[in-house]
Amino acid sequence: MKHPFWNSRRLRSAPAMAFVFASAALSPVLLGGAGPGRPISIYISWAAHDEISDDVPLNEELALRELAAVSKLKEQGAQFDYFLLDMGWFDPDGGYREFRKGRWPRGIDGFLAACRDKGVKPGLWFSTNVCGWNANLTWMTPLPEWKDAMGGNLDLAMSLYQGSFLKYQIETMQQWYDRGVRVFKFDFANLGAAPAAEVARLGKAEVERRNTDAWRNALVAFRARNPEVILIAYNGYGGDTGDSGVKFKRNIDLRWLDAFDSLYCGDPKPSDLPSANFWRSLDVYSDAMVFRYVKSGVPITRVDSSGFMIGNTGTCYRRGAAAWKGMLILSGARGGLVNTYYGDMALLGEEDRAWFAKAQHLYLTLQASAAISPLDEYPGSGRPYGFVAHADQGSVLTVVNPGQVDEDLDLANFGAASGRILFTDAGSAPTFHGQKLRLGPGQLAVVGTGIYSDPKWDMGTGDGLVVPRSSTLLALTGVLHGPRSVSATVLPPLTGVLRIVCSQTNADGRPWRITGGAPPLGTAMGKILQLKAEQGGKEIKLERDNDRQVWSGLSWAVAEVPVQGLEPGVPVNISYSVDDPKPNAGVADISAYAVAY
């Protein structure tokens, strides 16, 4: 593993793209006039409630419960600067100027006062210029005064360069800022929106350019008038986030960095690398998106990975707080100065809150004082990857092996072989072999060197994921590819667990992701990605961590079966089929491993 920007002389002579890739951690404002000058922490309520991929509403009771939970985290030493109410706080007929009637008995004043009492500044979610996606999903009634700007999405989206909507939106922001709101999260931008006649006159590209310029200039002016504001951008501002395959488009307009403090890089989704642990798959996806944004020229300090999300709603796959420690570590290791924490913080108990504060403190310290960069390997490749934070007196490497077998990571360029393991998952521990660190399948590890090898930084082991002692690829026979299917035969190992790994790709080589919809009415992936095994004519019960309702889609299935219930020496027949109603010329693949825990 070679770090291409470790040597400062090479950094000065690196080509332009490499300079952006490395220097992102050296200055928060290399590109664009916005960006916080220090690490900030924003609690965001989404995933504690969810009325898009679930049916849990946001109301005053929920908001105050989460504010109390955030306050308990602060009491343990965690940093939270802002408390943001996500989608659903507003009245559908109030144009973002009124809280939803019936859900806030004390109205906005009670909530703002509670935030002040707890030492956090309030924030609010706004749709950029969209009131809904279709007749079945409309969250805001367009106001009569927006009529001269209405255009796309069945007249549910408004132009930003003509008509009265932009003026109304900026005036609304100012009203909330004057009442103490300091963070605005902007989501669902439709930059092609304009009346049909205008699109016909100018063409789509020119409409998008005018909308983009008008909105960006308005935000820059708003920031100049209100210097304490934090603006964060979500869906609609560029970025190829549909999958985590090795192919992606660099389609981010870097001029948004003049207006926004951060650009988010996608909601947590499963990676397209098969994983025995569903939650680690989400970590790998968020890591891949950060790599993509940095490769596209966004400074790493300006990327919001939005990767920490706990809760019992569909948006986070009803994970509760499963495997939250590794998720928290990676959210800090990625280097973004805008640290967002989503969901139900009431799920964390007293010991959890103390651990949260300790881990967060390490990474906020690094964000403030160290140069943070991704290592060379792209997370979607399947090879070990990670992030390095290099300070004058030591370094912290946060690394992951997303593959199915042990992998060695060369640490010769980091002096990390004499470092200390600060954190890893439960199960088999990572080991040093000279200048190399051996990581087990799916394993996360944090290595500290110099001052960061002090035991005071130790964070113990994670929860929710157990690393195997060994994992060995098994030979398959009789592999047969059919339309949307694959089958094969394998001899089971004599001990441990038989792990079966399947995946599918489109004809163009990109991941073939399929969804059965969101909770509570969605179809579990096991009925769509159908993985079966039988021995001697008898079907084998398989354990699948990925058999869930996955709103964002899945391109793989992994199952395990303990060999105690299998006949030794008798072949196991495996079949995998993809039940996708859409026409697709994709290809399915299959492999098997002998795994020992």
Q: Do residues 67 and 203 share a domain?
A: yes
572-578, strands of its sheet edge to edge:
476-482, 485-490, 572-578, 529-535, 538-539
Q: Do residues 232 and 322 share a domain?
A: yes
CA dist., res. 47 & res. 231, Å (int): 20
Look-up: residue for tokens 């070990």? 384
CA dist., res. 588 & res. 76, Å (int): 49
- Tokens describing residue 318: 């009803």
- Average pLDDT for 502-524: 92
- For residue 127, tell me if it sits in a domain: yes
Half-sphere CA count of 462, side-chain side, radius 13 A: 29
Q: Do residues 223 and 86 share a domain?
A: yes
CA dist., res. 207 & res. 191, Å (int): 8
- For residue 20, tell me if it sits in a domain: no
For residue 14, pLDDT over 80 is answered with no
Q: Do residues 74 and 104 share a domain?
A: yes
Between the CA of residue 242 and those of 276, 374, 527, what are the distances in Å? 21, 21, 22
Looking up residue 390, the CATH number of its domain turns out to be 2.60.40.1180
Q: Do residues 457 and 529 share a domain?
A: no
Dump pLDDT digits (tens) for 26-61: 233 334 678 999 999 999 999 999 999 999 999 999
For residue 291, pLDDT over 50 is answered with yes
Dump pLDDT digits (tens) for 460-494: 999 889 999 999 999 999 999 998 999 999 999 99
Q: Cβ–Cβ contacts within 10 Å for residue 556, how many?
A: 26
Looking up residue 249, the CATH number of its domain turns out to be 3.20.20.70
Return the C-alpha torsion angle 176, 181, 182, 185, nearest 10: -80
Dump pLDDT digits (tens) for 565-597: 899 999 999 999 999 877 776 899 999 999 999
How many distinct structural domains can be found in the chain? 3
Q: Do residues 562 and 546 share a domain?
A: yes
11 pLDDT band, cuts 50/70/90, is: very low
- For residue 26, tell me if it sits in a domain: no
Q: Do residues 335 and 414 share a domain?
A: no
Dump pLDDT digits (tens) for 320-346: 999 999 999 999 999 999 999 999 999
CA dist., res. 315 & res. 550, Å (int): 9
> Between these two residues, 404 and 376, which has the higher pLDDT value?
404
Q: Do residues 434 and 540 share a domain?
A: no
**173 and 165 in contact (C-beta within 8 Å)?**
no
Q: Strand (E) positions, 202-243?
A: 230-233
* β-bridge mates for residue 595, sequence order: 471, 497
- For residue 21, tell me if it sits in a domain: no
pLDDT for the residue numbered 32: 61
Looking up residue 582, the CATH number of its domain turns out to be 2.60.120
CA dist., res. 399 & res. 57, Å (int): 37
Final residue before a domain boundary, out of 438, 467, 496? 467
pLDDT for the residue numbered 27: 32
Among 19-23, 170-174, 370-374, 551-555, the range scoring the smallest mean pLDDT is 19-23
Q: Do residues 434 and 493 share a domain?
A: no
- For residue 2, tell me if it sits in a domain: no
What domain range includes position 571?
472-596
Q: Do residues 383 and 336 share a domain?
A: no
Q: Do residues 303 and 159 share a domain?
A: yes
**CA gyration radius, the chain:** 25
Look-up: residue for tokens 């007196």? 393
Helix (H, G, I), strand (E, B) or coil at 228: coil
Q: Do residues 286 and 240 share a domain?
A: yes
- Average pLDDT for 228-257: 94
CA dist., res. 288 & res. 266, Å (int): 10
454-467 in b/e form (b: 16+ CB < 10 A) is eeebebebbebbbb
Burial of 468: CB neighbours in 10 Å, binned 0-12, 13-18, 19+? buried
